[in-house]
Amino acid sequence: MARAGREALTRARVVAVAIEVADDDGLDGLSMRTVAGRLGVAPMALYRHVSDKDDLLAAMIDAVVSDYPAPPEGVDWRVSLRHRVLAAQVEIRRHPWLRTAIEGATAKSLTVLAHLDAATGDLIGAGMSADLAHHAMHALGCRIWGFSPEGFDGPVVVRVPDQKNDGETDDGGAATRAALAARFPHVAAVVADSTARHGGCDPDVELAFTLDLLLDGIERLHASGWVSG
């Protein structure tokens, strides 16, 4: 029985607090001890509700994924699937640890499978073959969870040898940037344009762009009667 004035310890409460810890400190800061500390209980008390950290992580994924908003009723498959991806992207922004947790998961829970089944159902419900739906889901890949495999957790740093002569200074790296631009002009042009338009790479724009390309391609394959092999 819970002590007076203390909320009963349940699996749902343990998971909710674990999500708070991961939101604040990332997965590196998540441990049974840190969760127990926030709950004001001994770490061993958690094991009555989760078997280990892997079980806790799986429950955290389930808790977030189960809250994904469903697409509006009656929309076509493209609108529905696009909604699922962009709604998942919102959750990735709210819970940055979710990407790593999903990528590192060793098993698919019923909640995770339900999300995949609903997305696959958008395709099959539109009259696509199981063959095309299978390949389309692989093409969508981790985008179905709201992130792109091309994304990075932090800024990309290009390391180049120090080529300054003795006594020469580099004003804020300007000389290095100029040298890189001269050597890699096409990359430099893309970077300059992206910086001018969006202040750098915009993961939201890039995910939506790639998603629409994939949906266009899937639609064309369906219309053509495509089959694998």
Give the chain's domain count: 2
Rounded to whole angstroms, the maximal C-alpha distance in the chain is 74
CA atoms within a 13 Å half-sphere pointing along the CA-CB vector of 212:
5
CATH code at 40? 1.10.10.60
- CA 200 to each of CA 115, 156, 157, 168, 190: distance values in angstroms, whole numbers, following the listed order: 32, 11, 13, 30, 10
The residue written with tokens 């958690």 in the block is: 46
In this structure, the answer to whether residues 131 and 45 fall within a common structural domain is no
pLDDT tens digits, 38-90:
999 999 999 999 999 999 999 999 999 999 999 999 999 999 999 999 999 99
Range of the domain at 44: 11-64
In this structure, the answer to whether residues 114 and 218 fall within a common structural domain is yes
**Cβ 215 vs Cβ 80: under 8 Å:** no
In this structure, the answer to whether residues 220 and 109 fall within a common structural domain is yes
How far apart, in whole angstroms, are the C-alpha atoms of residue 103 and residue 216?
26
**2 pLDDT above the threshold of 80:** no
In a domain, 169, yes or no: no
What does pTM read for this prediction? 0.81
In this structure, the answer to whether residues 113 and 212 fall within a common structural domain is yes
According to DSSP H, which parts of the chain are helical?
Answer: 11-25, 32-39, 43-46, 53-65, 77-94, 97-104, 110-125, 130-140, 174-183, 185-198, 203-224
DSSP-derived letter for residue 9 is: P
In a domain, 127, yes or no: yes
